[in-house]
Amino acid sequence: MAATPSDDRKYRHQRERLADTLRERGITDGRVLSAIEAVPRHAFVDPALRDRAYADEALPIGLNQTISQPFTVAYQTSLLEVAPDDRILEVGTGSGYQSAVLCEMGARVFSVERHEDLLARARRLLNELGYDVRTRHGDGTKGWPAFAPYDGIVVTAGASDVPAPLLRQLREPSEEHPGGRLVIPVGGRGGQTMTRFARTGTGPHDYEREDFHSFRFVPLVGEHEENE
Ligand code: SAH
């Protein structure tokens, strides 16, 4: 169904209001808010749910998965501290929305999804909208070694613990670049704490860990993961 110019205006207006809401809820990074204002979230949800696309809520995308709440996307993206041209790996492509937001921030985006049909749909849509995302069907708890190291890794499903391969695929700090950041909800099925690991050196224990707010994500399922 083609969008009419008046739909475009309506959605643009709704996106501006969404950015205002996110600002009120504590998102302060202007680049993140501009990216949210730029991505047509209504295209990433089921046509029957388009009226709710710019409410600050998670929505079903099939196969028991959800497109994350805009606040959560903005929160995780803020914690990643994305600089233009950063290489960012996303675990859990889902609808593709978070990938699109990262593209709008100027990142080079890599994204892994375990459900092949969700990935096929996301890939088609990202392509149609002109977002250049490299995607892969597979288990993201293993990361994506071929394109490592990453300046940022964002996990958009709830983990029971931190998959070790993801830490290893973060960039080591150098004169030109800060160390890579891993943003991951940790805590198992009942609820998770948003956690950020930043690589501080070259050794296996050179990571700084910070804990943030609580969230509830769909579970991360994979080899380097104990979720039942
Ligand atoms: N970032 C998505 C949110 C998707 S919900 C968006 O913007 O729409 C989380 C996604 O993680 C689901 O699609 C789920 O299938 C996927 N997932 C769970 N475990 C995974 C794993 N080990 N590797 C890759 N994807 C995984």
Which pTM does this prediction carry? Answer: 0.97
Cα 156 to the center of its chain, rounded Å = 6
Pocket of ligand 1 (CB under 6 A): 65-68, 91-92, 94-95, 97-98, 112-115, 118, 139-141, 156-157, 218, 220-222
Q: Calculate mean pLDDT across residues 96-122.
A: 98
Give tens-digit pLDDT for 128-142.
999 999 999 999 999
Q: Calculate mean pLDDT across residues 24-51.
A: 97
Cα–Cα dist 97/43, whole Å: 9
> What confidence category does residue 188 fall into, taking pLDDT thresholds of 50, 70 and 90?
confident
Q: Calculate mean pLDDT across residues 69-96.
A: 98
Residue with CA closest to ligand 1 atom 11: 92
Q: Calculate mean pLDDT across residues 144-160.
A: 98
Q: Calculate mean pLDDT across residues 160-177.
A: 96
Tell which one of 98, 104, 129, 220 to mutate to probe ligand 1, the residue whose CB is within 8 A of the most ligand atoms: 220
Q: Calculate mean pLDDT across residues 159-178.
A: 96
Active site residues: 68
> What is the number of the ligand 1 atom nearest to the C-alpha of 225?
22
Using a pLDDT cut of 70, give the percent of the chain over it.
98
Q: Which of 92, 189, 102, 170 is nearest to 138 (CA)?
A: 92
Locate 40 and state its tokens. Answer: 């047509």
Chain mean pLDDT for the chain: 96
> What confidence category does residue 3 fall into, taking pLDDT thresholds of 50, 70 and 90?
low
Q: Which of 9, 82, 25, 32 is nearest to 57 (CA)?
A: 25
> What is the number of the ligand 1 atom nearest to the C-alpha of 223?
22
Cα–Cα dist 214/108, whole Å: 28
Residue with CA closest to ligand 1 atom 4: 94
Measured in angstroms, how far is the CA atom of residue 92 from the centroid of ligand 1? 3
So what's the pLDDT on residue 2? 60
Cα–Cα dist 191/205, whole Å: 26
So what's the pLDDT on residue 53? 97
Locate 18 and state its tokens. Answer: 């969404």
Q: Calculate mean pLDDT across residues 5-14.
A: 90
Number of CB atoms found within 10 A of residue 205's CB: 7
Q: Calculate mean pLDDT across residues 196-215.
A: 96
Residue for token pair 């008046």: 6
Cα 104 to the center of its chain, rounded Å = 12
The architecture (CATH level 2) of 57-226 comes to: 3-Layer(aba) Sandwich (3.40)
Give residue limits of the domains in the chain.
57-226
Angstrom CA distances, 186 to 39, 96, 129, stand at 27, 22, 32
Q: Looking at the predicted structure, is the pLDDT value of residue 109 above 60?
A: yes
Q: Looking at the predicted structure, is the pLDDT value of residue 1 above 60?
A: no
Measured in angstroms, how far is the CA atom of residue 175 from the centroid of ligand 1? 34
Locate 162 and state its tokens. Answer: 């931190």
Q: Looking at the predicted structure, is the pLDDT value of residue 83 above 80?
A: yes
